[in-house]
Structure 1
Amino acid sequence: MQSATTDTEGPAADPEIENAGESPPEWQVPTVLRPIARLVLWAWRTLLGSIGTFGRLVLLATDSFYGLFRDIVKMNHPWKETLTQAWFMMSVSGWPAILISVPLGAIIEIQVGSLASQVGATSQAGAMGGIGVIQQAAPMISGILMGGAVGAAVAADLGARKIREEIDAIRTLGINPNHRLIAPRLAAMFIVGPLMCILVVFVGLSTIYTMTLLQGGVPGAFFNSFAAFASTTDLIIAVVKTVIFGLLVVLVAGQRGFEASGGPKGVADCVNATVVLGVMTTFAANVLITQLLSIWFPMKLGF
């Protein structure tokens, strides 16, 4: 009986035959090189994952903008939803923008004023600080706030919808979720971006002007020097940069929200990823845009 049972089981499995066609097992890699092999494998997988994520982001952006412009041309765009989203975005980022712009404007004026007094250019301190607010501080403050507040809110909303399978239900009804959920938020950002930038510029310049007067400055010298440094082009560029940052934040939040999985923890993870990626994308885009603008629009003084 035992011999019959042994015959039916067949020969023992050969590990070399089982591993045929698969990647070499770890025991074939020398022990010294195993940490390096793991690092190379992790880097390769991360690179492939990053390329895939970027590709999905490009597809999402293309489809969402196509749906946005198509619905506007056909007069089928949900403007009520757009205005609702715009009001929500301003409500979650308006007061933080004001609260950040006041101390930032004061710090800029103190630092620039101290440096200007050392080189004998006290009358130019307020204008130089104002230029810093318009060209860099206003777009960056707006982008960071939208990446932290607006992006987190959008990602949480879309991630919760994905977990509750609402996104799948929308697709089942024959509705494109990119056109229904992402496009109105992109349209809202075209409204919120300029308003946010102008709000930060106004509060920042008001703070710098007040600090200049407290330090004994002359209002006429402030405005004359400011007109010599600043131009309408600077404000237009700042508004355009803010809109670009906002659109990138909405797209990143939309992608993270649509790819959420794993229950409430998945929603928390997508919100965390949105904030980090939104802020990093804003900084990267600002560096690229600033470099290009320094080539195309070099700063000129109006003396």
Structure 2
Amino acid sequence: MSNMQVIAEAATITGLLAIVQTVVIICGGLDISVGSQVGVASVVSAMVFTTTGSNALVGMAAAIGVGLLIGVVNGLVIVYGRVNPTIATLAGLAAYKGLAQLLSDGRAQGYVLNNDVFIFLGRGKVAGLPVMVWILVVVALSVHLLLKYTDIGRNLYAIGGNDTAACLAGININKYLICVYVLIGIAAAGILLTARTGSGQPVSGSEGLELKAITAAALGGAALKGGKGGIGGTLLAVALLGCLENGLTVEGINSFWQNVAQGVLLVAAVVIQQRRNGERAVGLPH
């Protein structure tokens, strides 16, 4: 049971990002800058925490504010700059990573585990389960209900499935697209990474999160062209990736193989989607 808790806790940050990444993908978008966003917000939360005399709430608010701002920037660039989401967020991946390193001078910032709030978030337990796991459960349930039982959720699926039809139906596509990028920015606030590691991390702990989040969403059934996907499938995929990572670590296999495995799984998930939808490969005859 303790090993399962370790796997669950380690997968929490990936799980949160995978959930909101699923929402973005359902809406027809993609955000590959989430790892760098986490790094920026983690550094900001720790630096503000330190400069305000160990005020955890102000540090967290600053991290959420930065995440919100980044989400707005991404959304505006994509919607009004008419930049492809992959290109826009690829630029963000590099820019936000550089920003995190500039702010921190490339080093971990602050120390937060002398504060009860961060200790509770990073090390606390409720009913025998880590607080971080409970946060993941609450977020997953909330987003699931939003997608399945509200007009907002139905509109997100409609936009991803056919944006022209959604526009003709009177749905404000631009508003929804900006909002989903804001959502992923807030979720990538880096607070849990700071609480888990004890300091603001510009790169360590956040690098590669974008691949994990996208892989989990795709494995969970989210169609990368939009309009399909669900939170249940994404969580199962997060659990699979967590078990895979833990298994490779326990067996003493080089950690670089984890990246290889994630890449293979992502390609496999997309191939399966293509076959299931009856889509032919580019440049190949039926």
Tell me the TM-score normalised to structure 2 length. 0.31
- Computing the radius of gyration over CA atoms, which structure comes out larger, 1 or 2? 1
Tell me the TM-score normalised to structure 1 length. 0.30
Which structure would you say has the larger RCO, counting Cα contacts within 8 Å and 6 or more residues apart? 2
Q: Report which of the two has the higher share of helix.
A: 1
